[in-house]
Amino acid sequence: MNNVPEHFGSMVFNDSVMKERLPKEIYKSLRSTIDNGTELDISVANIVANAMKDWAISKGATHFTHWFQPMTGITAEKHDSFISPQSDGRVIMEFSGKELVRGEPDASSFPSGGIRNTFEARGYTAWDPTSYAFIKDGSLYIPTAFCSYSGEVLDKKTPLLRSMEVINAQALRILKLFGDKVSTRVISTVGAEQEYFLIDKKLFDRRKDLIFTGRTLFGAKAPKGQELEDHYFGAIKPRISAYMKDLDEQLWALGILAKTKHNEVAPAQHELAPIFSTANVATDHNHLTMELMKRTADRHGLACLLHEKPFAGVNGSGKHNNWALSTNSGKNLFDPGKTPYENKQFLLFLCAVIKAVDDNQDLLRISVASAGNDHRLGANEAPPAIVSIFLGEELTGILEAIESGKEYTKVDAGKMMTGVQVLPDFHKDTTDRNRTSPFAFTGNKFEFRMLGSSFSISGPNIILNTIVGDVLGQFADRLEKASDFETELMALIKECISKHKRIIFNGNNYSAEWVEEAERRGLLNLKNTVDALPLFKSEKNVKLFTKHKIFTKTEIESRYEILIENYCKVLNIEALTMAEMVKKEILPAVFSYSRELAETVSLKKSIGIDIQDDAGVGLVSLLTKLANCLSRRVSELEDSLIAAYGINSILARAQFFRDTVASCMTEVRAVADELETIVASKYWPFPTYSDLLFNI
């Protein structure tokens, strides 16, 4: 591609297109809606819709769709053409303001957690003008919110937009106290680093577990894994490079700021990282990125795996959520400046995050809870299930000095001396990075590293915006009443450090010692999804969400029901897939190999060869023993599934899936994986880890 700037955003109805195609006053009115949240007049919407339609048709579009994010974890769309019939039998292309602003998809077939009955079908989608419309596959895509006929929120966009308003309002109160008369809006911004695996599509198609569950339910460890650390940042293979180039070009056309691409730690694992966007736009873009990753892979004869743990024994995939706050006047509120110990505004915002994370460890853990992520959190490549904050030595030292009342002495990290004349010496940063922390300050932003790779980033950012916005509101309430602002400010910062310093940890989060230390500090260790989700409905959390009008109590209950039911469904699908693969693929393969060995032994015996110590005899005996064991284990697994769905309480059922069904699955896998190491490769019914991870 020769002209990236011209190509970038070419399929997006963005600001430059709006400015070019809309009358000046209409553009001004629409910008006011986007920037200030003012209501959009239907007459303005009609003109915008017509201009949007003309532009879309000029780009080859014939249809439009309201694109929304139901509680399925993916996006949804229903396509209507622009055609409108005329009396003479011809058609014209029309698109009205009403069609732009509102749609009516069937709401009964989407997850609602009991909010909607099947016969209560009507739902509404509402245009979100803060996220630009775009063209894909011959359709104009209009980002929208989604709600039920009776007004309950059924999507992930609406509460995110609400949370952005909360943190905007409360952060502006703080800025006003510091004399900021320029900033009129505070925006939460996000950059979501996306990890993924690429494997050969032909091999993918031969594995039912990958097709139905997104992860391998069986697989003995390959002779080589990631132990040589030779894949991370290694040279990108030509086939993968071609895929990445194609993906970049598609993302750029849709205005997605894809910036960085590289090999990740595990074999066949890679990462894409974008430049920051507003939390709302970043969420839309990440959904598009995941969709295009999969579709582009298919075109290149590859399969893209977004499961958190597609392969046992090597790193799983996460999604690092880089979160910051910026003003419309261009200030990053988490930028400490050259003298952070003197930057009281920064210190107050920093303390707000520290308090918010400490007070709401449960909500942050809940925001990343899923059956898939349970395989990853706490493993060697991921943060543990314990939430803590990494600040680094400099900021920790500043906070300790404030708490103790001592003067902070800035430490010069010195120069990096390369010892090579042609290489420049340079000043080191004042603090190192910590890649084991679940929530790390990384210079001018916070990196929340617990998200699973398949996650919508909406949920974690709803939580971050809401909890930090709530604390900023508490701070503003106190400081607005102060007779001496400076004195009260420092007292507040000092008090916050003293009460919430337990959440700060700069060491190795992977270590067993940290788990013990965290328990001594009184930090939560919600090891799995079933432990975490019930806390979503706690009195503290209901009060928080209803106070800021993020969710109603009913909507909280419904989301809990959806999430915990999803956990049960995922494990049920995995267990059924596992049983089918054993009965229809693995056991027949074992029997075939055993028969060949037995026939060989029989032939030897018939021609007078002594078979007393024959390897084949022992092997047939071992295969028979393991096959019988595997058959028993599968029967136990199937019995456990029947028992699970005899449990009426959804929480008790989820606990049974976690404790009993998952345990049966582990036992089935252990026997099957042992058989894989024994059965001849020509008999084994599906590709092995060696095939999948090293065959690109």
Mind spelling out the 3-state secondary structure of 331-360? CECCCCCCCHHHCHHHHHHHHHHHHHHHHC
532, 582: one domain:
no
Whether the pLDDT of residue 47 is over 90: the answer is yes
> How large is the average pLDDT for residues 213-233?
89
pLDDT at 569 over 90: yes
CA 645 – CA 657 distance, rounded (Å): 10
Q: Which region among 70-79, 182-191, 313-322, 532-541 has the lowest average model confidence (pLDDT)?
A: 70-79
Residue 190 sits at φ, ψ, to 5 deg, of: -140, 140
The angle that helices 615-644 and 553-581 make with each other, rounded to 10 degrees, is 150
Residue type (1 letter), 526: L
Which of 348, 381, 384, 350 shows the shortest CA–CA distance to 364?
384
Residue 560 included in any domain: no
Residue 89 has pLDDT above 80, yes or no: no
pLDDT at residue 151, as a whole number: 74
Same domain (yes/no): 146, 169: no
Burial of 499 (0-12, 13-18, 19+ CB in 10 A): middle
Residue 604 has a pLDDT of 76
Residue 48 lies in a domain: yes
What pLDDT shows up at residue 228? 80
The pLDDT value recorded for residue 121 is: 60
The set of residues, in sequence order, having a beta carbon less than 8 Å from that of 300 and lying 6+ positions away, is 239, 242, 243, 246
Q: Is the pLDDT of residue 428 over 60?
A: no
pLDDT at 319: 94
- The whole-angstrom separation of Cα 416 and Cα 407 is 27
Instruction: Please choose, from the candidates 228, 279, 282, the residue with its C-alpha nearest in 3D space to the C-alpha of residue 259.
Output: 282
Q: Where are the beta strands (DSSP E) in 328-474?
A: 389-390, 415-416, 426-427, 439-441, 446-448
**Do 575 and 545 sit in the same domain of this protein?**
no
Whether residues 131 and 236 share a domain: the answer is no
Residues 252 and 129 occupy one common structural domain? no
Say what angle helices 344-359 and 393-404 make with each other, to 10 degrees. 90
pLDDT reported for residue 88: 77
Which pLDDT value is given to residue 311?
96
For residue 457, give the CATH number of its domain: 3.30.590.10
**Secondary structure element (H or E) that encloses residue 246, with its range:** helix 238-253
Cβ count near 481 (within 10 Å): 8
Phi, psi (5° rounding) for residue 192? -105, 105
Same domain, yes or no: 586 and 672: yes
Q: What are the structure tokens assigned to 524, written together? A: 């939560």
Identify whether residues 17 and 69 lie together within a single domain: yes
Q: What value does the mean pLDDT of the chain take?
A: 91
Distance CA 398, CA 68 (A): 45
Q: Which two tokens stand for residue 297?
A: 């892979």
Number of neighbouring beta carbons within 10 Å of residue 548: 22
Helix, strand and coil in the chain, % to nearest 5: 50, 15, 35
Tell me whether residue 18 is in a domain: yes
Contacts of 221 (CB under 8 A, 6+ apart): 312, 313, 689
Confidence of residue 35 (pLDDT cuts 50, 70, 90): confident
Q: Please state the length of the chain.
A: 696
Once rounded to an integer, what is the mean pLDDT over residues 510-517?
Answer: 91
| pLDDT at residue 612 greater than cutoff 80 | no
What share of the chain has pLDDT > 70, as a percent?
Answer: 93
Q: Are residues 259 and 168 in the same domain?
A: yes
Judgement on whether residues 434 and 451 belong to the same structural domain of the protein? yes
**Confidence class of residue 15 from pLDDT cuts 50, 70 and 90?**
very high
State both tokens at 88: 């003479």
Is the distance from CB of 389 to CB of 354 less than 8 angstroms? Answer: yes
Secondary element (H or E) of residue 63 = strand 63-67
In terms of Cα–Cα distance, which of 9, 581, 77, 458 is closest to 253?
9
Residues near 150 by beta carbon (within 8 Å), at least 6 away in sequence: 120
User: Which residues sit opposite 70 in a β-bridge?
Assistant: 155
pLDDT value at residue 422: 62
Q: How confident is the model at residue 171 (pLDDT cuts 50, 70, 90)?
A: very high
Beta bridge partners of 196: 270
Residue 227 vs residue 554, higher pLDDT: 554
Structural domain span for residue 394? 163-217+224-412+424-551
Of the listed ranges 37-46, 244-253, 353-362, 377-386, the least confidently predicted one is 377-386
pLDDT digits (tens, 9 = 90+) for 330-339: 999 999 998 8
Inside any domain, residue 419: no
Q: Are 151 and 213 found together in one domain?
A: no
pLDDT in the model for residue 117: 59
- Helices marked H in 266-343 — which ranges? 279-299
Cα distance between residue 397 and residue 391, in whole Å: 9
For 143, other C-beta atoms within 10 Å of its C-beta total 24
**pLDDT surpasses 60 at 364:** yes
Compute the half-sphere exposure of residue 423: CA atoms within 13 Å on the CB side of its CA: 8
The single-letter DSSP state of residue 182 is S
Q: How far apart are CA 462 and CA 451, in angstroms?
A: 13
Is residue 112 included in any domain, yes or no?
yes
Q: How far is residue 399's CA from residue 388's CA, in Å, rounded to a whole number? A: 16
Report how many domains make up the chain: 3
Alpha-carbon distance of 320 to 282, in angstroms, equals 13
In a domain, 558, yes or no: no
**Token representation of residue 382:** 């991921």
Poorest-confidence range of 60-74, 363-377, 515-529? 60-74
- Residues 347, 335: Cα–Cα separation, whole Å: 10
In a domain, 557, yes or no: no
Q: Is residue 247 in a domain?
A: yes
Name the CA dihedral angle for 507, 508, 509, 514, rounded to a multiple of 10 degrees. Answer: -80
Give the integer Cα–Cα distance in Å for 642 and 647: 9
What is the pLDDT at residue 406? 85
Mean pLDDT of 585-590: 98
Query: What crossing angle do the helices spanning 553-581 and 662-676 adopt, rounded to 10°?
Result: 30
The backbone torsions φ and ψ at residue 323, rounded to the nearest 5 degrees and listed phi first, read -120, 135
Of 292, 287, 254, give the one whose Cα is nearest residue 156.
287
Residue tagged 């507003």 (tokens):
278
Q: Which two tokens stand for residue 467?
A: 């909890």
At residue 219, does pLDDT exceed 60? yes
Q: How far from each other are the two terminal CA atoms of the chain, in whole angstroms?
A: 25
Q: Of the residues 138, 155, 172, which one is the last residue of a structural domain?
A: 155
Degrees to nearest 5, angle at CA 105 with 101 and 109: 150
Q: How far apart are alpha carbons 359 and 363 in whole angstroms?
A: 9
- Give 231 or 483, the one with higher predicted confidence: 483
Out of 493, 527, 551, a domain closes at 551
- The reply to whether 496 and 350 lie within a common domain is yes
Could you tell me the pLDDT band of residue 124, with boundaries at 50, 70 and 90? confident
CATH number at residue 600: 1.20.120.1560
Q: Do residues 454 and 308 touch, judged by C-beta distance below 8 A? A: yes
Model confidence pLDDT, tens digit, residues 443-475: 899 999 999 999 999 999 999 999 999 999 999
Choosing from 155, 185, 203, the residue where a domain stops is: 155
Query: Do 108 and 253 have their domain in common?
Result: no
Report d(CA 172, CA 266) in Å as an integer.
Answer: 44
Q: Which CATH number fits the domain that encloses residue 52? A: 3.10.20.70
